[in-house]
Structure 1
Amino acid sequence: MLTDLNSMNHAKLLSPFASLLLFSLTHGAVYAQKIGDVPLTKQQELKGTMGMPDEMKCLGFIQASMLPMDLYVSGVEEEGLATFVMENSMVYLNGPGLKNAKVGDVFRVVRPEAKIRDRLTQQLIGHYYKELGTVRIEELRPGGATGSVVLGCNLMFKGDLLLPLASKALVKFTGDKSTRMTPYPEGGLATSIVLAKDDAREMAEGTVCFLPVGAREGVKPGDRFTIYRLQPPFDAKDLIVNTAHVRSSVEGMSIGGARTGAVQSSTDYQPTMSGRYSGELIQKLSERQIPHRVLGDLVVLEVGETTSAAKIINSRSEIHIGDIVVRR
């Protein structure tokens, strides 16, 4: 009996790392199961949908200014044993925003993660908020409230903020995608990717990212942008031939007991790539004009006043922060 109790206590006191690992392993499977459980008719209705309903609640956003702490997570059910909560957990809430809340109200939980700046100008774009899930108020009491975690996109900690849950329309896209030959559209709204969800450094199809343009620039949910990467300027070192690959295979070989010496090239003629011709060629190549590299496409999911969240819908190569996007 004592052994059983010790086992239970050991399981209850999982380290934060072990609990985080468990969350990472199970959350993806649970989310996939939710999608798989959608009836076939509903799946057909959702064809072309860029983000499932629960996914739309987990996008994150960039806010121009910091949000006030009107309502926040102040504690967990197992105080002293746990520091974070997951789906189906109980949380305690505090803040002046409770005066307008009712039992049954659902809030989204967010956390300020970082200041986002333009990589070229270093101008502040805004504050990145990670969306962590949703909490429903189960009980109101003097000085506070008790809630339950309805949806968990990520771990929630004490101090995380609660915001009113706003409905988000599903975004569909069934249009054509870019090809390797898609030209750069002159005159289109152009900007660059400033952040990837969860601070990912390399992005591909399915990744959510953020753009520094929004409703102010006329951006709407469903807008498609093609992703380009500017080609680097010509580098004269590209013309250098590695002499180790052209050196004669008979270098240093003995013939009849006599050394042949070091033969520097397998050819008997003077290389053309030297002198005046080399200088002219480098000048011409430095003035070249070649098209931007086409990397893929993204579709805008949610629009703020000055920023937008988008999902990459196809990619031919890894996509990086700073890559150019142009509205089609």
Structure 2
Amino acid sequence: MRTRTALMALATLALAATVAAQQAPRMPNTADLYCSGWFTDEPVPRDTYLISGEESEVKTVFAEGDYVYLNKGSNQGARVGDEFLIVRPSKDESRPRWFYAQDALERAMGRLYADKGRVRIVVVQPDVSIARVVYSCDSMRRGDLALPYAERPAPALRSQAFDRFAPPSGKPVAMLVQSKDFRQLVGQNDIVYINLGSAQGVQVGDYVRIFRYPGSRHESVYVERNRHYRLYGFGSTPTRYRWDDLPREVLGEGIVLRTSPNAATVLITYSLRGIYLGDYIEIQ
């Protein structure tokens, strides 16, 4: 019964992803740019953080319109009008292993940080500042980190049509390792993280192609072993074909929003059908 329920849930998500795939690509919006999160293996400054906020005797989280307190004041160089991005280290507490190398790839990419929003200082005291939450991605709480605000321009969409039979580009290939909301099934307009970054030449605005091998050598856990052979109907042929002997399935494409040395944040701009963690990507 539990297996049947899980399969039904995946089928529902796959249907939703297919419906979303019919939409036309859109420009990255504010939420895509400032609420997408990122993996990094570089140190993230921890010297500025959210102490608390108004009504702290009854509130433990804060959102747009609330006033919060930062641990920097005039003695530390804070000024009225300064803006900060509020972020928090993030991890999937359930830790499901969705494909064979997921844990190792995440470790190589670094640590995941979730964006929580933006605040602007309105009052400065000697060692504390009062800031207003001017944009909220998610609720903020005590101890969240505050990083100096930097504008993130939206990369331009290209006019080239999606090619479902595109040949390999010959450029670096990696995997779709994790998604913003820790979902295994994603589609158009979702945020995902890949294990290629600036150290491998990836830049903001680059396009990635997402694809899958029908006879994958490392099948994801959402299918039984050798299910691909039975499902695609070539399991009874006289010759057993290798995972890379058959045409790959191009599932969609995305645009790079942010990079770190060994990871990149990608917005899926188009999906032909449901995309799973563990599917492959290549730079176009």
Where on the TM-score scale, by shorter chain, does this alignment land: which range? 0.7 to 0.9
1:58 aligns with 2:58: no
Residue 177 of structure 1: CA displacement? 3.8
Gaps of 5+ in 1: 1-46, 240-278
Partner in structure 1 of residue 159 of structure 2: 175
Residue 136 of structure 1: CA displacement? 0.5
Residue in structure 2 matching 1:238, options 230, 236, 254? 230
Q: Which range is displaced more, 153-162 or 300-309?
A: 300-309
What is the 5 A alignment of 1:235-274? 238=230
CA distance in 2, matches of 1:298, 1:98: 45
Residue 310 of structure 1: CA displacement? 1.1
Residue 179 of structure 1: CA displacement? 3.3
Number of positions where the alignment pairs a residue of Structure 1 with one of Structure 2: 241
Partner in structure 1 of residue 60 of structure 2: 83
Gaps of 5+ in 2: 1-23, 217-225
Partner in structure 2 of residue 196 of structure 1: 179
1:134 aligns with 2:134: no
1:309 aligns with 2:273: no
What SS does the corresponding residue of 1:198 show, helix, strand or coil?
coil
What is the 5 A alignment of 1:41-120? 50-53=27-30, 55-94=32-71, 99-114=76-91, 119=102
What SS does the corresponding residue of 1:124 show, helix, strand or coil?
helix
Q: Which range is displaced more, 79-88 or 118-127?
A: 118-127
Partner in structure 1 of residue 223 of structure 2: none
CA offsets per residue over residues 68-95 of structure 1, 9 Å max, x none?
4211111120012111011010101115
Is the Cα contact below 8 Å between 1:49 and 1:172 reproduced in 2? no
What SS does the corresponding residue of 2:199 show, helix, strand or coil?
helix
2:131 partner amino acid: G
Residue in structure 1 matching 2:240, options 285, 294, 319? 285
CA distance in 2, matches of 1:121, 1:151: 34
CA distance in 2, matches of 1:98, 1:54: 33
CA distance in 2, matches of 1:64, 1:303: 11
CA offsets per residue over residues 211-230 of structure 1, 9 Å max, x none?
22222211122211110012
CA distance in 2, matches of 1:53, 1:107: 16
What SS does the corresponding residue of 2:186 show, helix, strand or coil?
coil
Task: Identify if the C-alpha distance between structure 1 residues 180 and 54 changes in structure 2 by more than 3 Å, giving closer, same or farther.
Answer: closer
Task: Identify if the C-alpha distance between structure 1 residues 303 and 141 changes in structure 2 by more than 3 Å, giving closer, same or farther.
Answer: same
Residue 120 of structure 1: CA displacement? 6.8
Is the Cα contact below 8 Å between 1:210 and 1:307 reproduced in 2? yes
Residue in structure 2 matching 1:155, options 139, 143, 168? 139
When Rg is computed on C-alpha atoms for both structures, the one with the higher figure is: 1
Task: Identify if the C-alpha distance between structure 1 residues 95 and 126 changes in structure 2 by more than 3 Å, giving closer, same or farther.
Answer: farther
Partner in structure 1 of residue 18 of structure 2: none
What SS does the corresponding residue of 1:56 show, helix, strand or coil?
helix
CA distance in 2, matches of 1:172, 1:51: 8
Is the Cα contact below 8 Å between 2:187 and 2:274 reproduced in 1? yes
Q: Which has the higher contact order (CA 8 A, sep 6+)?
A: 2
Task: Identify if the C-alpha distance between structure 1 residues 182 and 237 changes in structure 2 by more than 3 Å, giving closer, same or farther.
Answer: closer
Identity over aligned pairs, percent: 27
Partner in structure 2 of residue 20 of structure 1: none
- The structure whose residues are more often helix, as a share, is 1
What SS does the corresponding residue of 2:257 show, helix, strand or coil?
strand
CA distance in 1, matches of 2:73, 2:48: 6
CA distance in 1, matches of 2:265, 2:147: 18
Task: Give the TM-score normalised by the residue count of structure 2.
Answer: 0.75
Partner in structure 1 of residue 208 of structure 2: 225
Task: Identify if the C-alpha distance between structure 1 residues 301 and 60 changes in structure 2 by more than 3 Å, giving closer, same or farther.
Answer: same
1:108 partner amino acid: L
Task: Identify if the C-alpha distance between structure 1 residues 200 and 96 changes in structure 2 by more than 3 Å, giving closer, same or farther.
Answer: farther
CA distance in 1, matches of 2:175, 2:214: 15
